[in-house]
Amino acid sequence: MPNVVIDIAELRKVDSNEVKELEKFLKEKLQADIDVADREMTVKPAKKGEAPRKDYVRVMLKKYLHKAELREDFRVIAGKEDTLMIKRRKITGEAE
């Protein structure tokens, strides 16, 4: 199973502490190795095991956003092959 890459650039812009909390949450739930770079997070298989599937990682990201009360501001979308993105929601209807 290939590694799953998560684009966290927009989440990092808002709060870099959320990235640390997300890493901790994913390590606990997925029991996989997590590498964090500047703009992305990579989910790799643990030493003895398989990498979690992309759809399962997506569900865990959604659970984290709900737990951290970020569901109103962010969403999880699929990117290129084996890539997920945490994107800021576009707010419609607000006057500038």
The CATH number covering residue 71 comes to 3.30.1360.210
Backbone angles phi, psi at 77, to 5 degrees: -130, 160
* Measured distance CA(93)–CA(81) in Å, rounded: 33
Tens of pLDDT, residues 26-82: 999 998 999 999 899 999 988 777 878 999 999 999 999 999 999 999 999 998 888
* Measured distance CA(89)–CA(43) in Å, rounded: 24
Domain that holds residue 8: 4-88
Domain assignment of residue 34, yes or no: yes
Q: How confident is the model at residue 93 (pLDDT cuts 50, 70, 90)?
A: low
Domain assignment of residue 64, yes or no: yes
Residue of 21 and 46 predicted with greater confidence: 21
Q: Supply the pLDDT for residue 37.
A: 92
Domain assignment of residue 93, yes or no: no
